[in-house]
Amino acid sequence: MLDIVNPLFRSIDLSTVALLIPVGVLLVHLVPYFLDVHGIRKYPGPFLAKFSDLWLGWVCKAGHRSEVVHEMHQKYGPIVRLAPNHVSVAIPDALGIVYGHGNGALKSNFYDAFVSISRGVFNTRDREEHTRKRKIVSHIFSQKSVVEFVPQVRLYVGMLIKQWDHLYDQALKGLSGPEGEGWRGQGGRLWLDCLPWVNYLAFDIVGDLAFGAPFGMIEAARDLAVVPKNQEDAMKSYGSSKSVEVVEIPAVKILNGRGEYSMSMGVLPPWWRPFVRHLPWYRKGGQDVKSLAGIAIMAVAKRLATPTDRVDLLSKLQEGRDGDGKPMGREELTAEALTLLIAGSDTTSNSTCAILYYLARNRHAQDKLHKELDEQLGAEDELVATDQQVKRLPYLDACINEGLRLHSTSALGLPRVVPEGGLTIMGEYFPPGTVLSVPSFSIHRDKTIWGEDIEDYRPERWFERDQADIQKTFNPFSVGPRACVGRNLAYLELQIIVASIMRRFDIVLESADQQLHTREGFLRKPLGCKIGIKRRDSAVP
Ligand code: HEM
């Protein structure tokens, strides 16, 4: 056999190979375009996106996917081709069709890039496996269950407020933080970047709930987590008394790196991924994935080695049973605890940061919120609002919702594969196998639903617009069987955090036109938000 092949290869010279490679690459991209098996060639979009996933890959890596896709919709209309087999549909009614219960569309292979340890409820694509996992996880987040987590949420919100109180007192004395800590006193206000602080808060809450102990970020006023130096050793140490060597890592930073890495990988064809992951930027992201998994491995190992009667997400995951009455094995338990850390931390902190930014920027809304908080909670002198108190604050909800509308941290269109039988949206038929997505960023800016002033932060619109239209179009937590399972907890956290901070403080921006700069991986994250804080009970004018 070799005798036949070798002469054949010898007869192909280098110049032929040099010619064959580009011709091959060209054919791989042109043939699917002309065959058009999914019938989507008719949809407009960026030129390169018709032939290759590279366009979307490049846009994602640059960190502004939602804005760019929104521009494409403004240029080409509500249906835009983003990649050879991916169509973005910026039509509110498409939400129910693409994501709704019973339509059969599954998550695309984009989500394979988010798997670490093993598949969790977020990145499981198989319907049956997802139903099994979701059954275990969803009862943890029922309205009734999440109330059990309120004490932990309030504890860390109280710690954050005390830290700000302490810095505020120092700021009034004209002091500033040491180099690198980034706070200063000026003009009767404490000036700081609220983003790291709300990150510490969200991580401490979810660390406590999902892993049995906070990371201790608020107390230390810095981004830190302890992980095993070697993950395999840590996995092996389950249930044994063997000690594991640990290192300290900046968890928030690593979570960001992991999100950008998985996102950029996810939009590439699966056969590219093994090659791309060796490039320097991707190698670093791969390391972030491992480091983050280390946090869950260590926490779960600790819990299994030292059982406790504490009620938290981890204990509830341990108690959870599937339809056959079986509990999760330790690997699955670790993967789900990691899922909750990832899904429940910076989603909440990005949203909190954006809401504080918009309130600081809009004096009218802030004054109105202060009035509601004073009238409704004024006589009750607890430092942190309770779950009972936040239930009766309609303007607070409007402030939160308007922030989630303008800065949906989950802003991009979540990709789903059209099932057998196809899907029809506004008379357009999409055959099975086509990937569709509906971008929240764009539908949250649909003028027919939200009004002409879509870029303005105006909580009042929540009382003015058609409620049915709003409910159908507001999509921060997604809809259907894959919608956010932690929504009840997330919303309760936002209510308690925003009510407590805003009741105590008056906040302003450094300048009236200060922008909220963002970078998008899987989530759209603020890069920072400098605010000037004044205690509302302060005698300082
Ligand atoms: C403001 C905060 C939050 C926002 C905006 C948010 C948003 C979302 C969105 C849009 C999805 C769908 C993702 C997709 O289909 O790819 C999702 C899924 C999920 N979220 Fe949240 N989330 C928040 C907080 C939380 C919290 C606090 C937890 C739990 C501690 C959580 C747990 C999950 C899980 C486990 C999933 C996967 C559900 C499934 O696929 O069945 N989220 N979230």
For the chain, the residue count is 541
Of all residues in the chain, what percent carry a pLDDT higher than 70?
Answer: 91
Lowest mean pLDDT of 47-51, 361-365, 368-372, 421-425, name the range.
47-51
Amino acid at 186: Q
Dihedral sign from CA coordinates of 341, 347, 350, 353: negative
Domain boundaries, the chain: 5-535
Average pLDDT in the 49-58 region?
A: 90
CATH 1.10.630.10 fits 5-535, yes or no: yes
Average pLDDT in the 305-334 region?
A: 83
What distance in angstroms lies between residue 482's CA and the mean position of ligand 1's atoms? Answer: 9
**pLDDT per residue over 175-228, tens digit each?**
888 765 689 999 999 999 999 999 999 999 998 888 878 888 999 898 887 766
Chain-centre distance for alpha carbon 9? 51
Give the pLDDT confidence score for residue 255 in this predicted structure.
Answer: 87
Chain-centre distance for alpha carbon 22? 39
Burial level of 102, CB count in 10 A (0-12/13-18/19+)?
A: exposed
**pLDDT per residue over 241-257, tens digit each?**
566 677 788 888 888 88
Give the pLDDT confidence score for residue 233 in this predicted structure.
Answer: 65
Q: How confident is the model at residue 2 (pLDDT cuts 50, 70, 90)?
A: very low
Average pLDDT, the chain: 88
Tokens of 275: 């090659």
More confident residue, 241 or 173: 173
**Residue to mutate, 347, 353, 400, 401, ligand 1, most ligand atoms under 8 Å from C-beta:** 347
Question: How far is residue 408's CA from residue 265's CA, in Å, rounded to a whole number?
Answer: 22
**pLDDT per residue over 15-43, tens digit each?**
777 777 777 776 667 677 777 777 888 99
> What ipTM is given for this predicted complex?
0.99
Question: How far is residue 47's CA from residue 81's CA, in Å, rounded to a whole number?
Answer: 9
Dihedral sign from CA coordinates of 326, 330, 332, 336: positive
Tokens of 143: 């309205």
Give the pLDDT confidence score for residue 268 in this predicted structure.
Answer: 82
Judged against a pLDDT cut of 60, whether residue 4 lies above it is answered with no
Q: Hey, is 437 helix, strand or coil? A: strand
- In the beta sheet, which residues pair with residue 190? 185, 533
Question: How far is residue 113's CA from residue 259's CA, in Å, rounded to a whole number?
Answer: 10
* Helix, strand, coil % over all residues of the chain, rounded to 5: 55, 10, 35
Give the pLDDT confidence score for residue 492 in this predicted structure.
Answer: 97
- Answer for the pair 365, 457: CB distance below 8 angstroms, yes or no: yes
Question: How far is residue 145's CA from residue 138's CA, in Å, rounded to a whole number?
Answer: 10
Question: How far is residue 277's CA from residue 284's CA, in Å, rounded to a whole number?
Answer: 9
**Residue to mutate, 131, 314, 347, 484, ligand 1, most ligand atoms under 8 Å from C-beta:** 484
Q: Does the beta carbon of 339 lie inside 6 Å of ligand 1?
A: yes
Question: How far is residue 304's CA from residue 173's CA, in Å, rounded to a whole number?
Answer: 48
What distance in angstroms lies between residue 229's CA and the mean position of ligand 1's atoms? Answer: 29
